[in-house]
Structure 1
Amino acid sequence: MKNIERASPVPYYVQLYEVLLSSIQSGELPAGEKLPGESELHRTFALSRPTVRQALDMLESNGYAQRVARRGYFVAEPNSPQGWHIEGLGGFLENGLLHGDPHITTTVVSSGEQPLPDEITAALRIPRRSVGFVLERVRSVDGQPALFSTNWTPPTVAGVVAAATGVRKGTSSLTAALQAGGYQAAGARRVMHAVAAGPVIAEHLNIPATTPLLRIRSTTWDKSLVPYDYYETWLRTDIVPLAVDATTHGA
């Protein structure tokens, strides 16, 4: 397994997640195999237990691992569709991959600094007519357009997104770029409605304008409760199911 790059701006838990994911996808850790335990990973990579736990939880949220009570984490079977775990704080690439690693591609429709609409500045709690960064993307699964999303970030964050070349090319995660820039999600509020696509969204997703979609609007804030990202996603749930895990308190 690879080592953790201490000088990298990528958070340690994301690096550990990627190390373990690489071992799963290469077959080094086959389906049904028990993953290294929290204590073993803590010793091997010299990481704190909360960091290790965060990486393991991320594997479970993305459908690559299953947690068994009192036994630990096991590599999940490759054909179990997990969908987009909407309660996770990450975006589609972090929480939305269908297990089995289907071919997911991102097409960037537009990116750049623009004056933000009033409803966006209100959600981000910044002055009206502020200039922020706007990123529009289409995500496709196995060649089928599955969702259209727009992210709006405030002026204080715009430079981070503008400098994220991979994000603007559609080859890397916006959430990871924001984390690398010091913006760590502490919470988010998401509101979902079932609505017709309409002509603009329908053109992006190559569907009839009357097609019902799930529209998700989300505001993400940091530990100081300052919003730093607002997005609107139009999702085809016939391609990417929405998954929600429910547990009782104290479970």
Structure 2
Amino acid sequence: MAINKENNIPLYTQLMDLILDEIESGKLTHGDKIHSERELAEFYSISRATVRQAISELEKQGYLHKVHGKGTFVSNKRMNQELNGFYSFGEVIEKEGKKPSNKVIDLSLREAGVGLGKIFNIDINDTVYVLSRIRLADGEALMYETTYLPTWRFKDLKKMDIEKFGLYNALKNIYSVELSSADETFYPCILDENDEKFLNITPGDCGMILERITYENNSVIEFTKSIVRGDKFKYKVHLKTL
């Protein structure tokens, strides 16, 4: 395929389509290095500025990433999560043909305080569990989560049970939890040095913050705040007309 300079489609868009076609067809796969800006400019007889714009857009969309001093490479395909019903991290990862796992960093107790007291509708002096863990797919860290759980509902919750079964399976198998609904909020963030401790990222990378409040009937039984790698997930919502 070639770039048509007589076409009213911008040249950088045409180049993006050509590179995307190679990725979608499998000619370029994860980890492959693409041609340099100079090589692409010479091959297609376009300016390096046009090539740079196309590559920049594909980086923003998560198809490519640059490695300083080495070049530009094809990124891992983002995992697609549809937000049309209740889901768990493990289910999403298994649909992608990968093995989910979680590394529990800490499980401790603290007083609810005003914020968590309001979320769980409990006294500010009541205690909650604080669960910190890393969520992985095939051993690769994808998100860092902090989960709060009310102790009145989950007495004697143990770290080993969460590591063995995963959180939701542990709550269902041990405490007979029946999850009824959840509210989720998403917003973008810039990952920093603290996130670098848990995720294989470079400070300044884009990420997502996901906050989930989970209900059992009318009671809130979980509040989770997740730091999600922006290069690994994309979220999809199906909208219906009224």
Q: TM-score range by the shorter chain?
A: 0.5 to 0.7
Task: Provide the residue aligned with 1:134 in structure 2.
Answer: 130
Other structure's SS at 2:90 match: helix
| Of 231, 236, 239, the match for 1:244 | 236
Output the TM-score relative to the length of structure 1.
Answer: 0.58
| Bigger fraction of residues in strand | 2
Output the TM-score relative to the length of structure 2.
Answer: 0.60
Shift of 1:108: 0.8
Other structure's SS at 1:229 match: strand
Shift of 1:226: 0.9
| Of 154, 159, 166, the match for 1:158 | 154
Is residue 83 of structure 1 aligned with residue 80 of structure 2? yes
Task: Provide the residue aligned with 1:54 in structure 2.
Answer: none
Instruction: Give the residue type in structure 2 aligned to 1:112.
Output: S
Describe the superposition over 1:125-150 as per-residue Cα deviations: whole angstroms up to 9, x where unpaired. Answer: 21113211111111122332110011
Cα separation, 2, equivalents of 1:152 and 1:213:
21
Equivalent pairs, count: 165
Please tell me whether the aligned partners of residues 79 and 96 of structure 2 are also in contact (alpha carbons under 8 angstroms). no
Q: 1:112 to 1:97 in 2, by over 3 A?
A: same
Cα separation, 1, equivalents of 2:222 and 2:235:
22
Instruction: Give the residue type in structure 2 aligned to 1:203.
Output: K
Task: Name the larger-Rg structure.
Answer: 2
Task: Provide the residue aligned with 1:185 in structure 2.
Answer: 179
Unaligned runs of 5+ in 1: 1-79
Map 1:162-173; keep pairs closer than 5 Å. 162-163=157-158, 165-167=160-162, 170-173=163-166
RMSD of the TM alignment (CA)?
Answer: 2.5
Identity of aligned residues (%): 14
Is residue 209 of structure 1 aligned with residue 206 of structure 2? no
Map 1:41-56; keep pairs closer than 5 Å. none
Describe the superposition over 1:192-241 as per-residue Cα deviations: whole angstroms up to 9, x where unpaired. Answer: 11011233223211323322211011111112x110110001111322x2
Other structure's SS at 1:166 match: helix
Unaligned runs of 5+ in 2: 1-76
Other structure's SS at 1:156 match: coil
